[in-house]
Structure 1
Amino acid sequence: MGKLLSDQRGKELTNINAIIGQSGAGKSTLADAFGFLADCLDKGVEIACDLNGRGGFEKLISQGESGTIEFELYYRETSNTSPITYELSISLDKTGRPIVEKERLRQRRANERHGRPLSFLYLEKGKGFAFKGDNSGVYEENDSEFGEKVNVELADPRQLGIVTLGELKEHPRIVKFKNFLKNWYLCYFSPSAAREIPNAGPQKYLNRLGNNLNNVAEFLQREDPSEFKKVLKDIQTKLPGIARIEPVKLINGQLVLEFLEEGFTKPFYSQKMSDGTLKLFAYYLLLHEKQPRPLVFIEEPENGLYHKYLADLANEMRKSVKSGYSKQLFITTHSPFFVNALEPNEVWVLEKHEDGFSTIKRASDYENVKELREQGVDLGDLWYSDYFG
């Protein structure tokens, strides 16, 4: 998807990217690819292969295939920095257990606009080198080196090298990349989980299930009470039938949210709200993060929501990512109403072929889609009418 160091023909990804396609095309698999990378960072590659019902390395590789599982991430911290490429290969060791076969980070020097980037981290099975500082590395083609090089040997080759080196201040670029990957948010919001009564205590971010809604509200209340009231007031205008949302502190110090529904005189706690209202509230709270996480992945936000709310949600998502490089959203969806709010370069189509493999391309790359959209035809309507995908 998008532009890679290994494939410069692609265009950069937009800040909001919706993935559509028929059931079984691979949307959930693509979402889990992001989750797998996050789990590799947090748990190591062997455990990541087994988590969340993945079934181990042998189930992750495609049927009939052998060799390594490979990833390439191409990203930029800011508009003023050169892109960084992260390459990861995972294979099996002699005992049949998953291992980090290869790991590499590359970036051009600060004063270079073109040409091949330098490698500033390179490990094979836990052994290799890293360069200190933020403008150093080696041109692997001719072994030209810049800066201070240190030899590296990890105690556990099943752990990513960026986990260890990303804790050392002499490797600032590795630290930044580790934090970028660590702060990805993969949303698996569950209304039933969100109704649980959490332990008291502020938490900065929503967790994967969203069962810490009240803890996040408590954090925002403590950080800036007046700003939090503004956030709640803005969110309540987007929740149908909700006249007011108020934070209420209980005797034990815990903060909970009260929702006053139109037509009722007494408010409800979040535990008594409908699935759809809770889900919308969680999404809008996520979009109001003061220090947004760099990458957010949401699967099928339309589930349990009235279809007329989806275009507004998509528009709010676009507004939340703004421009620049601070935040990027990925969404899988089956809803043409959600897609109607997007542009052809923001939508990717997964198509499964007879050989069992899927390909992905932008909606703007389909014949006539861009022209019809420019004439005012909504993209979701084109998709529903089989003009593409």
Structure 2
Amino acid sequence: MQIESIEIKNYRLFRDARFVDIPRLCVLVGANGTGKSTLFDVFSFLKDALEMNVGKAVSKRGGYKELASRGFADQPIEITLQFRLEITGYERLVTYLLKIEPDAVGRAVVAREVLRYKRGASGKPFHFLDFEHGHGYSIINEEDFSKADEKLNREEQELDAPDILAIKGLGQFERFKAASAFRLMIENWHVSDFHVSDARPSQEDGFAEHLSTRGDNLPLVANFLFEHHKDRFDRVLESMKRRVPGVAVVEPKQTEDGRLVLRFQDGSFKDPFIARHVSDGTIKMFAYLVLLNDPKPYPLLAVEEPENQLYPELLPELAEEFRDYAKRGGQVFISTHSPDFLNALSLNEIYCLRKVEGFSSVSRASDSENLQSLFDAGDLPGYLWKQGLFEGLNR
């Protein structure tokens, strides 16, 4: 899966914003309050809406009036994703449209939900799922691409409530191919909310294959890699030794009372010490390496400001770790204020956000002829950003 474009209308700072030609590694820059966190919240909102329903996802964010762009609470919110997804053995460029609006008493409902893609190399995209206010249809024999449109089997459906996503209900059934694939994709998005304090405590003995969004199961996931994917765990250790000064060994150990703790061996000391005695930066780097060496990459990974608590010298290498992760199959979105992190990127991986008349405007750094010529001449993106040359890019 790779998202190629995102169009957002009337969602907080995004009155009418569009991200196009999105690469596998997409990095957002901009001053505070320009919408970087808002994009990540769009990802979280879609996941919440799928796991709960649209009404609860909106309520979690303060209600429709708080979620809609300021001054436009009477107008619908629209989110459109265009992405490549394998369906029945074919890779398709799929479009998902979600339109939300308040009902007569102000509750958020799904005004329109569409999943469409082209059946062949030409022609208009075909609607394989189309719902309005809880009523609609889905095609149940999508694999029969060679059949005429009228030969495709359309199944009419009515959802239990108008704030339930059709992809949530229908996506649980294999016969709705596109809805099932898209639901599974969103369910496996990972929007990081990592906190070093949560990653430090030792945990009761248990089992966890994937790092949680807050990182509070780090010892369990490290132990899982150690026991079941030793090659991945060894890669984490090698990266730690190479990139964190002084660290020689990181090992999960089980205590007598059944708790798992991380023990770090410093090359300067004989005895190992547990995670609570290690710096925040060391713990955070270890957590990122565990996350990025997951044997099954998330289809979408979103991380805000990974530079916090890390040495500036580590950031270019961390950027390379994120890029390697993206190459293995997980698309990565990152927000940053760090010139050192940006220096490891190409211009086509950087999107700049600015506020224009109170709302976010988005542009790609490589679309600027001036920035591109400076980059081609050898100037690094981080230095160009630090000099203020990204300012005015959206104008």
TM-score, normalised on structure 2?
A: 0.89
Deviations along 1:342-385, one digit per CA (max 9) or x if unpaired, are 001000000111x2011101001123111111111101101111
Does residue 50 in structure 1 map to residue 52 in structure 2? no
**Cα pair 2:247 2:264 within 8 Å, conserved:** yes
- Counterpart position of 1:69: 77
Query: What one-letter code is carried by the residue in structure 1 that aligns with 2:330?
Result: K
**Cα pair 2:28 2:352 within 8 Å, conserved:** yes
Change (3 A) 1:357 1:117: same
- Counterpart position of 2:22: 13
Change (3 A) 1:321 1:215: same
- Structure with greater strand share of residues: 2
**Cα distance in 1, alignment partners of residues 116 and 354 from structure 2:** 32
- Counterpart position of 1:358: 360
- Counterpart position of 2:118: 108
**Cα pair 2:53 2:165 within 8 Å, conserved:** yes
Deviation at 1:148, TM superposition (A): 1.3
Query: What one-letter code is carried by the residue in structure 2 that aligns with 1:313?
Result: L
Aligned-residue Cα RMSD (Å) equals: 2.4
1:98-177 to 2 correspondence within 5 Å? 98-109=108-119, 112-135=120-143, 144-177=149-182
- Counterpart position of 2:92: 82
**Cα distance in 2, alignment partners of residues 10 and 282 from structure 1:** 29
TM-score, normalised on structure 1?
A: 0.90
SS of 2:337 mapped into structure 1: coil
- Counterpart position of 1:229: 234
Query: What one-letter code is carried by the residue in structure 1 that aligns with 2:143?
Result: N
- Counterpart position of 2:11: none
**Cα distance in 1, alignment partners of residues 384 and 142 from structure 2:** 47
Structure 2 unaligned residues grouped into runs of 5+? 9-17
Deviation at 1:122, TM superposition (A): 0.7
**Cα distance in 2, alignment partners of residues 343 and 226 from structure 1:** 30
Deviations along 1:195-246, one digit per CA (max 9) or x if unpaired, are 2333321211111100100111222233234553344334432223211112
Of 85, 95, 99, 2:105 maps to 95
**Cα distance in 1, alignment partners of residues 159 and 254 from structure 2:** 48
Change (3 A) 1:202 1:22: same
- Counterpart position of 2:336: 333
**Cα pair 1:236 1:245 within 8 Å, conserved:** no
SS of 1:361 mapped into structure 2: strand
1:311-350 to 2 correspondence within 5 Å? 311-322=316-327, 326-350=329-353
Identity %: 38
SS of 1:77 mapped into structure 2: strand
- Counterpart position of 1:140: none
Does residue 38 in structure 1 map to residue 43 in structure 2? no
Does residue 245 in structure 1 map to residue 245 in structure 2? no
SS of 1:75 mapped into structure 2: strand
Change (3 A) 1:234 1:309: closer
* 230-239 or 30-39, which deviates more: 230-239
**Cα distance in 1, alignment partners of residues 263 and 291 from structure 2:** 18
Change (3 A) 1:153 1:302: same
Does residue 29 in structure 1 map to residue 38 in structure 2? yes
**Cα distance in 2, alignment partners of residues 271 and 102 from structure 1:** 50
Structure 1 unaligned residues grouped into runs of 5+? 138-142
Deviations along 1:157-189, one digit per CA (max 9) or x if unpaired, are 222111111111111221111011111000111
Does residue 59 in structure 1 map to residue 66 in structure 2? yes
Deviation at 1:265, TM superposition (A): 1.5
**Across the two proteins, how many residue pairs are aligned to each other?**
376
Deviation at 1:77, TM superposition (A): 2.0
Query: What one-letter code is carried by the residue in structure 1 that aligns with 2:266?
Result: E
**Cα distance in 2, alignment partners of residues 24 and 332 from structure 1:** 12
**Cα pair 2:94 2:116 within 8 Å, conserved:** yes
* 368-377 or 255-264, which deviates more: 255-264
**Cα pair 1:188 1:298 within 8 Å, conserved:** yes
Deviation at 1:59, TM superposition (A): 0.5
**Cα pair 2:351 2:365 within 8 Å, conserved:** yes
Of 192, 196, 208, 2:197 maps to 192
* 290-299 or 29-38, which deviates more: 29-38
SS of 2:150 mapped into structure 1: strand
